[in-house]
Structure 1
Amino acid sequence: MSVVYNLGLATRVPLGEGMTFIVGGRTVAVFRTRGGTFFATQAECPHQRGPLADGLLGGNVLVCPLHGYKFDVKTGLAMGHACGSLKTYPVELSDRGELLLQVEDS
């Protein structure tokens, strides 16, 4: 069963950056591309638990701030390394401009 969490106004997440949220007992990173699209992934890099919301975001490419590992923020797939892929979560914008994050209830 999935649960939808209202994370508040989308303007909380600056263009081209990420922000960490704690929802349902898990930590999730929400990203807003410079084009205004939102994506959500697990908050820590599977390599050495780097804080992904602090990483660099260029287009759909997220770069871990600790070791430069790259991920496709849309799919979570690792790019050019065997670190492992990221868990991704559906996130959408409500009619009122709020971020709605969907997670599977554990």
Structure 2
Amino acid sequence: MTWIDIGAIDDIPLRGARKVKTRDGCVAVFRTDEATVYATSNTCPHKGGPLAEGIVHGAKVTCPLHNWIFDLETGEAQGADEGRIRTYPAKVEDGRILIDAAVLGQRAA
């Protein structure tokens, strides 16, 4: 894996999210507890809702437009909804959020 630094964990509130611009496009980064982060596509497949503006609960996010719920680990929609968002490997090291650039780059190809 090729890790790139996309920001400080303290820039994302606990149980919050931010949209982060990378050279390969924007991703949503979610912080679910003190040192756990997830990175996904920022667009809901249902109506294009901005997921970084959604409600984070546990390891899930609820789309702010139509309340679709996505698992941040798998990207799968929960409940009766069908759909999936793209997920990207992410981790925290020394207070910095790192994302796998190789996987992110595959999205742009």
Q: TM-score normalized by structure 2? A: 0.86
Structure 1 residue 101 corresponds to structure 2 residue 93:
no
Letter of the 1:67 counterpart:
H
- Of all paired residues, the percent bearing the same amino acid is 36
Superposition CA RMSD, Å = 1.4
CA distance in 2, matches of 1:49, 1:57: 17
Q: Is the 8 A contact 2:9 2:35 kept in 1?
A: no
CA offset at residue 3 of structure 1?
Answer: 4.2
Q: Which residue of 2 aligns with 1:57?
A: 56
Q: Which runs of 5+ in 2 are unaligned?
A: none
Letter of the 1:102 counterpart:
D
Q: Which runs of 4+ in 1 moved over 3 A?
A: none
Letter of the 2:78 counterpart:
M
* Secondary structure class of the residue paired with 2:10: helix
CA distance in 2, matches of 1:68, 1:35: 25
Q: Which residue of 2 aligns with 1:17?
A: 16
Letter of the 2:36 counterpart:
T
Q: Which has the higher helix share?
A: 2
Count of aligned pairs between the two proteins: 103
Structure 1 residue 47 corresponds to structure 2 residue 46:
yes
Q: TM-score normalized by structure 1? A: 0.89
Q: Which runs of 5+ in 1 are unaligned?
A: none
